[in-house]
Structure 1
Amino acid sequence: MRLAIAYDISDDANRRRVYRTLQRYGAWRQYSVFEVDVSKSERVELEDELESHIEPSDGDRIRIYRLCQSCLDDTTDLGEDPPSEQSNVI
């Protein structure tokens, strides 16, 4: 299944861990946004790992959207292509 994952993480170290976790599963698309292709079991593992890297009391949030095939077919990219690597990860 294809997922779009957006995150807002306050702590640099936690943000780095979230980024590196997501990088193992998929492609960085924009600041704090990834697209990943995972099986159902991989999704559970991914969610568990991401949850361990955030601190909700600090306002950290991760939002996961499932992208159906018709959603993917209707996706439009405007502007430049996504960068080949993250430039804002400390």
Structure 2
Amino acid sequence: MRLAIAYDVSDDTNRRQVYRTLERYGAWRQFSLFEVDVSKSERVELEDELESHIEPADGDRIRMYRLCRSCQDNTTDLGSDPPGEQSNVL
């Protein structure tokens, strides 16, 4: 299944861990946004790992959107190309 995952993480160290975790599963698309392809079991593992890197009391949030095939086929990119291998994480 394909997921779009957006995150807001206040602490630099935690944000870096979230970024590196997501990088193992998929592609960085925009600041704080990844697209990943995972199986059901990988999704559970990913959610558990991401949850361990955030502090909800600090306002940290991660939101996952499942992208159906129709949604994927109807995705439009405007502006510059998605980022390459470079990172926006400190």
Same fold (TM over 0.5): yes
What's the counterpart of residue 44 of structure 2?
A: 44
- SS at structure 1 position matched to 2:34: strand
TM-superposition CA deviations, 1:31-82 (whole Å, max 9, x none): 0000000000000000000000000000000000000000001100011111
Instruction: Structure 1: state its 5+ residue gaps.
Output: none
- SS at structure 1 position matched to 2:50: helix
- After TM superposition, the score normalised by the length of structure 1 is 0.97
- How does 1:1-90 map onto structure 2 within 5 Å? 1-90=1-90
Rate the CA distance shift 1:86–1:62 in 2: closer, same or farther, 3 A: farther
Tell me the C-alpha RMSD between the 2 structures: 0.7
Shift of 1:88: 2.0
Letter in 1 for 2:85: E
- After TM superposition, the score normalised by the length of structure 2 is 0.97
Relative to structure 2, which stretch is displaced further, 4-13 or 75-84? 75-84
Which runs of 4 or more aligned residues in structure 1 lie more than 4 Å from their structure 2 counterparts after TM superposition? none
TM-superposition CA deviations, 1:5-42 (whole Å, max 9, x none): 00000000000000000000000000000000000000
Q: What is the percent sequence identity of the aligned residues?
A: 84
The answer on whether the counterparts of 1:28 and 1:86 sit within 8 Å (CA) in structure 2 is no
